[in-house]
């Protein structure tokens, strides 16, 4: 989102009634739709950065807004941004700014200045809302509202759909004005049933009736999503002038266009550090030659006959066209594709600011084998160029060092998973012998506990008929995932870790706990499931503080396990206690969860790439349904971990902490005083104990590492 342009255009916008949009199809930029919610004072949740996950009222707000559109007979088509454009140079700067604010907020909270802390947390605005895409997609899919994921930025895809008359207008950010569109809706006021929009010509006139190319150059120079502000413009707001206006004046004094401005400052050290000229030219060409998904599902380039041969370099290296198609349908997300195409993984600070050595080690070293597996699996199914192309890891805490993730010597993972082509009849017969309450992870492990059944799953691809049904495809995807994570041997029987996972699933019983149990196993394998104080320098507050040292360690471990679960909360902003200590552990679980999801997605993507599943010439209607059904889909908050900690900390205040009356009193105090908006505190607490019982089995039976 172009902040300076957005501020400048505020006085140029016009308003209309939603009734005017009746019977029209509007293309909605998903990121802009979500960001407006996070900026609205009526819907903003200040403590979200202290909890993680999605806004607690997210689903209710989205449902209400979609209801309003439906009431006005407005059809919506949501477009999500896909892969990143260019390098991620601005991520560290934005992350540093956010970390400073978060650190100040926690300092205030620790000094018992709760109101000031909340206000400080409230100043944070997300640079990226990618983490909420799957939440929104799930709601849209449930309501049968169409969505599409663009190859790269959503803006060009929306413009393409407008040009092809699939949509009547665009509801999006001011970025859309970079393209040749007449107008863009920038805000919907659902309460007043109005909308606010901008005419591009009004913007040109507002800058002195400049030419469209001058306008685009000025916007880029003043700072956009693909290019930082020209350093010489940084003082413009302090002079009472908007950057976009200052950029126009600079062009007038330097020549006719933005390129002339860039050449003028080419010897400036700060300018050279940013490699500004090359980046400006790439951004300019990316606007002229937009990469979009065409009607046939193929990648198309605007004005292709005049595009340079290296047009994809304006964005990133080109991947197999089939992958862009699966991305567009929501079968997979863009994260691993970004890694593979850009050749780099950029890690920014998590919500707790990630200052512990343990978190640094997790990100820089411990997750590398899992990421190598994910990247190798994908690379072995695409162009050979990628099978020999390393990926660089850059971390915010050691940004001058680049660590190479090499996949050149990876084992043949393509052959390893090739024996998983189990047919529907075999799956159905097995399912009839297992309990109905199993989720996908539970089914994969429980089924293979029977060695006789495991032997029947050694199946090569049927060249005459690939896997067809959604169940066939998703079951084989999860089996492949389990195999790659060493829960299953090459003969498809369970490994020692697989048997541990089986015992834990038996104890957990509920399908909704399966993800949490498996993540707990992964954390144990990483030596991170423990009661040690991992966040002592600098000290993170919010750890257990009552009872003996042994009591506090037990409380800490159980609370960490509870981080993997979820407390059901009413659709209203959180008002309970906070714990930076619990949040920091939650950051670890989130990092592991996301990397597991990446591997699951590459398992299903490569299953299609290898021809093991029937794509039906792109006519399948269940790609999104399959993607949304796979595990580790969404991050969640750490409220249950905080709740369990406070409950266990409350027990020692009673003479007999183990007495039924003491436990009942602790539950009532937590439910009424600390977590008044919990939907069923006692039930969620019971679920936490069930999860703990299952994880305790993992800890007792785990093989020696």
Q: What is the DSSP string of 499-512?
A: HHHHHHHHHH--GG
Tens-place pLDDT, residues 381-434 = 998 888 889 999 999 999 989 999 999 889 999 999 999 999 999 999 999 999
Q: Does 213 or 463 have the greater pLDDT score?
A: 213
Query: Binning pLDDT at 50, 70 and 90, where does residue 76 land?
Result: very high
pLDDT score of 521 more than 70: yes
pLDDT score of 9 more than 50: yes
* pLDDT computed for residue 606 by the predictor: 98
Neighbours of 457 (CB within 10 A): 23
Structural domain contains residue 182: no
For the ranges 140-144, 213-217, 260-264, the lowest mean pLDDT is seen at 260-264
Which of 432, 459, 494 delimits the end of a domain? Answer: 494
Structural domain contains residue 429: yes
Tens-place pLDDT, residues 663-689 = 999 999 999 999 999 999 999 999 999
Residue 343 and residue 392 share a domain: yes
In the chain, % of residues over pLDDT 90: 76
| C-alpha of 264 from chain center | 40
Structural domain contains residue 694: no
Q: What is the largest CA-CA distance in the chain?
A: 82
Q: If 0-12 CB within 10 Å is exposed, 13-18 middle and 19+ buried, where does residue 433 land?
A: exposed
Residue 484 and residue 409 share a domain: no
3-class DSSP state of 569: strand
* pLDDT computed for residue 265 by the predictor: 87
61-70's contacts with Cβ under 8 Å and 24+ in sequence apart are 61/37, 61/571, 62/37, 62/136, 62/139, 63/139, 64/190, 65/188, 65/190, 66/139, 66/143, 66/145, 68/18, 68/188, 68/190, 68/193
Residue 428 and residue 398 share a domain: no
Neighbours of 156 (CB within 10 A): 26
Residue 401 and residue 348 share a domain: yes
Neighbours of 160 (CB within 10 A): 23
* pLDDT computed for residue 266 by the predictor: 84
Residue 398 and residue 321 share a domain: yes
Structural domain contains residue 72: no
* pLDDT computed for residue 1 by the predictor: 42
Write out the residue range of the structural domain in which residue 407 sits.
317-414+583-624
Mean predicted lDDT score pLDDT of the chain: 93
Structural domain contains residue 601: yes
d(CA 232, CA 157): 32
Residue 147, beta-bridge partner list: 78
d(CA 223, CA 305): 29
**Gyration radius from the chain CA atoms:** 26
Query: Binning pLDDT at 50, 70 and 90, where does residue 233 land?
Result: confident
pLDDT score of 548 more than 80: yes
Dihedral of alpha carbons 447, 449, 451, 457, sign? positive
d(CA 559, CA 529): 11
d(CA 297, CA 288): 21
Overall number of domains in the chain: 3
* pLDDT computed for residue 278 by the predictor: 86
Which of 434, 469, 494 delimits the end of a domain? Answer: 494
d(CA 381, CA 485): 19
From 335, 432, 347, 349, select the one nearest 633 (Cα to Cα). Answer: 335
pLDDT (average), residues 585-612: 98
d(CA 508, CA 297): 43
Q: How many residues does the chain have?
A: 705
SS3 readout for 168-189 = CEEECCHHHHHCCCCEEEEEEE
Q: What are the start-end ranges of the E strands in 160-304?
A: 169-171, 183-189, 194-199, 291-293, 299-301
d(CA 682, CA 667): 7
Which of 568, 596, 624 delimits the end of a domain? Answer: 624
* pLDDT computed for residue 460 by the predictor: 92
d(CA 451, CA 92): 50
Neighbours of 230 (CB within 10 A): 26
d(CA 336, CA 602): 8
pLDDT score of 256 more than 80: no
| CA 627 to each of CA 86, 372, 602: distance values in angstroms, whole numbers, following the listed order | 26, 22, 11
Neighbours of 208 (CB within 10 A): 11
Residue 406 and residue 490 share a domain: no
- Residue whose tokens read 């989205």: 62
- Residue whose tokens read 């659709």: 571
From 487, 645, 679, select the one nearest 577 (Cα to Cα). Answer: 645
pLDDT score of 314 more than 70: no
Residue 406 and residue 422 share a domain: no
Residue 490 and residue 408 share a domain: no
pLDDT (average), residues 285-293: 90
Residue 360 and residue 383 share a domain: yes
Q: Does 5 or 403 have the greater pLDDT score?
A: 403
Pairing of strands 25-29, 291-293: unpaired
Q: Which helix (H) or strand (E) holds 27?
A: strand 25-29
From 631, 333, 602, select the one nearest 484 (Cα to Cα). Answer: 602
pLDDT score of 239 more than 70: no
d(CA 497, CA 448): 13
* pLDDT computed for residue 267 by the predictor: 87
Q: Which residues touch 82 (CB under 8 Å, ≥6 apart)?
A: 149, 150, 151, 152, 153, 324, 327, 328, 334, 337
Dihedral of alpha carbons 164, 169, 174, 180, sign? positive
Structural domain contains residue 251: yes
From 624, 84, 595, select the one nearest 327 (Cα to Cα). Answer: 624
Neighbours of 638 (CB within 10 A): 33
From 695, 703, 696, 690, select the one nearest 520 (Cα to Cα). Answer: 695
Residue 401 and residue 432 share a domain: no
Tens-place pLDDT, residues 326-374 = 999 999 999 999 999 999 999 999 999 999 999 999 999 999 999 999 9
Structural domain contains residue 110: no
Pairing of strands 344-347, 391-395: parallel
pLDDT (average), residues 550-555: 95
For the ranges 143-147, 357-361, 397-401, 647-651, the lowest mean pLDDT is seen at 397-401
d(CA 283, CA 371): 30
Virtual torsion, Cα 631, 633, 638, 640, nearest 10 deg = -50
d(CA 14, CA 32): 18
- Residue whose tokens read 């951004």: 283
Pairing of strands 169-171, 25-29: parallel
Structural domain contains residue 55: no
Asked if 351 contacts 385 with a C-beta cutoff of 8 angstroms, the reply is no
- Residue whose tokens read 């940084």: 234
Residue 378 and residue 363 share a domain: yes
How would you classify residue 144: left for phi > 0, otherwise alpha for psi between -120 and 50, otherwise beta?
left
508 phi and psi angles, rounded to 5 deg = -70, -35
pLDDT score of 159 more than 60: yes
The pair of three-digit structure tokens given for residue 673, joined into one six-digit string? 């005083």
* pLDDT computed for residue 3 by the predictor: 53
* pLDDT computed for residue 89 by the predictor: 62
Neighbours of 621 (CB within 10 A): 8
Residue 408 and residue 332 share a domain: yes
3-class DSSP state of 236: coil
């Amino acid at each position: 989102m172009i902040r300076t342009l957005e501020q400048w255009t505020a006085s140029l916008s016009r308003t209309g009634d939603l009734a005017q949009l009746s019977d029209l199809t509007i293309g909605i930029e998903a990121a802009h739709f979500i960001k407006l919610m996070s900026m609205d004072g009526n819907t903003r949740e200040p403590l979200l950065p202290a909890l993680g996950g999605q806004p607690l009222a997210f689903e209710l707000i989205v449902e209400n807004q979609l209801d309003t559109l439906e009431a006005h007979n407005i059809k919506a088509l949501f477009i999500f941004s896909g892969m990143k454009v260019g390098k991620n140079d601005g991520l560290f700067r934005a992350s540093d700014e956010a970390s400073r604010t978060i650190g100040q907020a926690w300092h205030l909270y620790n000094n018992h200045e709760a109101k000031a802390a909340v206000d400080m947390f409230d100043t944070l605005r997300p640079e990226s809302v990618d983490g909420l895409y799957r939440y929104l997609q799930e709601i849209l899919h449930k309501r049968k509202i169409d969505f599409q994921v663009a190859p790269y930025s959503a803006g060009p895809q929306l413009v393409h759909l407008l040009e092809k008359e699939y949509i009547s207008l665009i509801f999006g950010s001011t970025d859309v004005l970079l393209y040749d569109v007449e107008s863009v809706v920038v805000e919907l006021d659902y309460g007043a049933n109005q909308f606010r929009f901008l005419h591009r010509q009004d913007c040109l006139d507002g800058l002195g009736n400049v030419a469209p190319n001058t306008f685009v150059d000025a916007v880029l120079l003043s700072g956009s999503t693909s290019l930082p502000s020209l350093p010489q413009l940084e003082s413009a707001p302090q002079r009472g002038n908007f950057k976009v206006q200052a950029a126009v004046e600079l062009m007038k004094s330097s020549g006719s266009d933005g390129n002339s401005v860039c050449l003028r400052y080419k010897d400036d050290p700060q300018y050279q550090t940013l490699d500004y000229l090359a980046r400006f030219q790439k951004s300019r060409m990316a606007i002229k030659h937009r990469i979009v998904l065409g009607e046939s599902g193929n990648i198309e380039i605007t004005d292709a006959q005049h595009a340079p041969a290296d047009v994809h370099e304006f964005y990133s290296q080109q991947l197999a066209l089939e992958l862009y198609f699966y991305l567009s349908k929501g079968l997979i997300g863009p994260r691993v594709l970004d890694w593979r195409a850009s050749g780099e993984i950029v890690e920014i600070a998590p919500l707790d600011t990630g200052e512990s050595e343990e978190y640094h080690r997790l990100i820089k070293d411990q997750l590398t084998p899992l990421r190598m597996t994910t990247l190798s699996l994908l690379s072995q199914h695409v162009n050979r160029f990628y099978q020999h192309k390393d990926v660089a890891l850059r971390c915010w805490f050691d940004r001058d060092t680049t660590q190479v993730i090499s996949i050149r010597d990876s084992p043949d993972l393509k052959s390893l998973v090739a024996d998983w082509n189990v047919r529907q009849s075999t799956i159905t017969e097995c399912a009839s012998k297992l309990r109905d309450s199993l989720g996908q992870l539970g089914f994969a492990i429980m089924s293979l506990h029977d060695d006789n059944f495991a032997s029947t799953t050694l199946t090569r691809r049927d060249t005459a008929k690939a896997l067809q049904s959604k169940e066939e495809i998703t079951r084989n995807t999860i089996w492949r995932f389990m195999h790659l994570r060493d829960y299953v041997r090459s003969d498809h029987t369970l490994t020692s870790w697989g048997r541990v996972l089986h015992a834990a699933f038996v104890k957990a019983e509920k399908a909704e706990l399966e993800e949490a149990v498996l993540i707990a196993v992964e954390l144990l394998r990483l030596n991170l499931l423990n009661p040690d104080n991992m966040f002592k320098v600098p000290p993170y507050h919010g750890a257990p503080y009552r009872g003996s040292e042994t009591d506090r360690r037990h409380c800490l471990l159980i609370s960490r396990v509870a981080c993997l679960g979820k407390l059901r909360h009413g659709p209203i902003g959180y008002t309970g206690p906070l714990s930076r200590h619990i949040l920091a552990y939650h950051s670890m679980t989130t990092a592991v969860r996301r990397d597991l999801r990446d591997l699951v997605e590459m398992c299903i993507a490569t299953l299609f790439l290898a021809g093991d599943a029937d794509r039906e010439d792109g006519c399948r209607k269940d790609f999104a349904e399959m993607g949304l059904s796979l595990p580790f889909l969404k991050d969640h908050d750490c409220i249950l971990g905080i709740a369990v900690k406070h409950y266990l900390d409350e027990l020692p205040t009673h003479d007999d902490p183990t007495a039924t009356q003491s436990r009942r009193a602790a539950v009532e105090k937590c439910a009424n005083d600390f977590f008044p908006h919990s939907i069923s505190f006692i039930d969620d607490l019971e679920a936490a104990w069930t999860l703990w019982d299952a994880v305790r089995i993992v800890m007792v039976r785990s093989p020696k590492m």
